[in-house]
Chain A
Amino acid sequence: MSMTIAEKILARASGRKQVSPGEIVEANVDVTMAHDLTAPLAIEALEGMKVKRVWDPSKVVIVLDHQAPATTLELAKDHIMLRKFVKDNKIQNFYDVDQGICHEIVPEGGFALPGRLVVGADSHSCTYGALGCFATGVGSTDMAAIFATGKLWFRVPESVLFRIDGKMRNRVAPKDLILKIIGDIGVDGATYRAAEFAGDGIKNITVAGRMTMCNMGVEMGAKTAIVPPDRLTREYLRGRARGKYKEVFSDRDAGYVEERTYDVSKLEPQVACPHRVDNVRPARDVQGVEVDQAFLGSCTNGRLEDLVEAVKVMGGKKVAKGVRMIVSPASREVYVDALNAGVIQKLVHAGAIVESPACAACMGCHVGILGPGEVSISSSNRNFKGRQGSPDGKVYLASPATVAASAVKGKITDPRDM
């Protein structure tokens, strides 16, 4: 019987020839990740289970990124505890506060490989599906179960196919596409499902762009989001992949519960308005909303091409008076590449505040907290009430190009008007 990529990976990981949607399987996890806000609870749960050691330290990745470096005493203590846990468990794949965001580290470090089952204690772990693996997020108790046994139960999800056609125009980005999709199907439009992005159009989208799209799979409720591996996947993984991998593809006649087609050649810049990720409108229709903060970064859009695009859009102009533009490269590697490319210099000269690689302003627990009544245009993935600080603040989500254009103009701006 034919299967989708998601089904094939879960079948392989659970030692079966065949699985069908709805079935519950116990699967072996190939790689697992936890960070400074989810690992402490997982370790507490592990202690509750009376387990002292993780099942296989080589398969565990720990990243300190959500409040990195620590800005509170509480988290400084958690960081100390996590460093000790990593040492006691001989976990080599440890990334301290200077390395960057978990969802950039895991792909960059070559942990997310086609055909693998990757589980992270963070909802945006679905990012890694950009490399053709089955990647999903869980909570801390489930993470503790994986730490203890290397296994977890899963319900095999139904798959929904997004067929992407065409090529995006200048200043239109993968972020605009995923916002458009979420606007169409809603924040629960893919709940419990595997979202597969395929078609000729996806071949024109870089691996970084695919990560942006898969990252936001969870914003429509998806359990995982997957792009079939291709030439770009292999190029990205050259010199990075930790171990061999086998590419997995959906069968021609695989069963999807839903199929949708998007012709991206007609796509325009999009903005998700407060306080819902599916409250999406063309950037043109939101133009003129004044902003206090412009955030360029996060696991959604903090990669090199995002920073390069922002600099291009800004074209040597300064950040508008009264606007704080906060930039946080997604990782140290991105930071160094951006430095070498002269991108960081341009951002600093334009008046941007460049922060160390971390989650930064995305989730209201580190730098760039929004005050009451303030407005943020953000390249991140969530605009829930209070997400970036005050519940009386407002967050608009957009592409790096739209964020950069808005930073320069001081109000939400369609980047094609720059």
Chain B
Amino acid sequence: MARAWVFESDVSTDDIIAGRYLIKHDPKELGAHAMENISPQFSRMVRPGDVIVGGRNFGCGSSREQAPITLKAAGVSAVVAESFARIFYRNSINQGLPVITCSGVRSGFKNMDEVKVDLKGGTVRNVSTGKVFKADPFPDFILEIIKDGGLIPYLRRKGALKSGK
């Protein structure tokens, strides 16, 4: 069962992974410090499959691609938010982390509510309350990128990288 971790608006990529950890290359090490500055218990308590529910402008600030890498490594299966900052949004797709824009979702969840995300159908369900939120469904190629775990595995599977240079 996936649980919702609810955050305020304007969660920055510094909040997701602080600058002092960017020298770490092992995703597991990054994941161990996920959300440390704003939610010190997060990385200890988060369970594989859990979902982050954010407000507006999720992922603002630095372009560090370590941010989606950190969340994935911590076990987060998706981020659902009212809106996203643009670099984080692109980076997340490139890393295969589903980022779902969903109006009204922030006020529709309490921390630890059970959540079910249907990427293909474009819905986010609060199982605890029964409420369903409509999201913009991803086009098929983005779904494939996410399924493959990011842009590079996707391109590799497609054979686009075979020739090399």
A residues near B (Cβ < 8 Å) are 37-38, 40-41, 45, 48-53, 66-67, 72, 74-75, 78, 121-123, 125, 137-142, 144-145, 148, 187-188, 191-192, 218-219, 221, 223, 276, 363-365, 382, 384-387, 389, 391
Contacts and interface: CB of A to CB of B under 8 A. Distances in A.
Contact of B65 (A141, A145, A276): A141
A396 to B, nearest CB: 16
Contacts of A52: 164-165
Given A191-B57, A191-B85, A75 B23 contact: yes
B63 A45 contact: no
Interface in B1-50: 9-10, 12, 14-15, 18-20, 22-25, 36-38
Nearest to B84: A191
A385 B61 contact: no
B86 A188 contact: no
Contacts of A41: 65-66
Top 7 nearest A-B pairs (CB, nearest first) are A386-B37, A139-B91, A139-B65, A188-B57, A141-B94, A50-B164, A74-B23
Contacts of B74: none
A391 B19 CA distance: 12
Contacts of A66: 22
B161 interface: yes
Given A40-B25, A49-B155, A52-B164, A139 B64 contact: yes
Contacts of A148: 165
Interface in B68-120: 83, 85-87, 90-91, 94-95
7 contacts: A139-B90, A141-B65, A218-B61, A364-B18, A385-B15, A386-B37, A391-B38
Contacts of A187: 10, 57, 60
Given A52-B165, A138-B87, A139-B90, 14 more contacts: A37-B23, A49-B161, A50-B165, A121-B63, A187-B57, A188-B57, A192-B86, A219-B61, A365-B23, A386-B14, A386-B15, A386-B18, A389-B20, A391-B37
Contacts of A389: 20
Contacts of B12: 382, 384
A391 B165 CA distance: 45
B62 interface: yes
Contact of A142 (B10, B56, B94, B161): B94
A67 B22 CA distance: 11
B23 A51 contact: no
A240 B85 CA distance: 34
Contact of B63 (A48, A122, A276): A122
A223 B86 contact: yes
B61 A365 contact: no
A38 B162 CA distance: 25
B87 A139 contact: yes
B152 interface: yes
A382 to B, nearest CB: 6
A93 B165 CA distance: 22
Q: B interface, how many residues as a size bin?
A: 35 or more
A364 B20 contact: yes
Nearest to A53: B165
B124 interface: no
A382 B14 contact: yes
Contact of A221 (B14, B60, B152): B60
Contact of B90 (A38, A122, A142): A142
B146 interface: no
B151 interface: yes
Contacts of B19: 363-365, 387
B87 A188 contact: no
A186 to B, nearest CB: 8
Contacts of A385: 14-15, 37-38
A53 B164 CA distance: 10
Contacts of A221: 57, 60, 85-86
Nearest to B150: A141
Nearest to A51: B165
A387 B14 contact: yes
Contacts of B25: 40, 74
A142 B24 CA distance: 20
Nearest to A140: B65
Nearest to B12: A384
Nearest to A67: B23
B164 A137 contact: no
Contacts of B9: 188
Contacts of A78: 23
Given A78-B23, A385-B15, A188 B83 contact: yes
Contact of A49 (B56, B86, B152): B152
A223 B88 CA distance: 12
B87 to A, nearest CB: 6
A385 B8 CA distance: 13
Interface in B106-165: 150-152, 155-156, 161-162, 164-165
Contacts of B85: 188, 191, 221
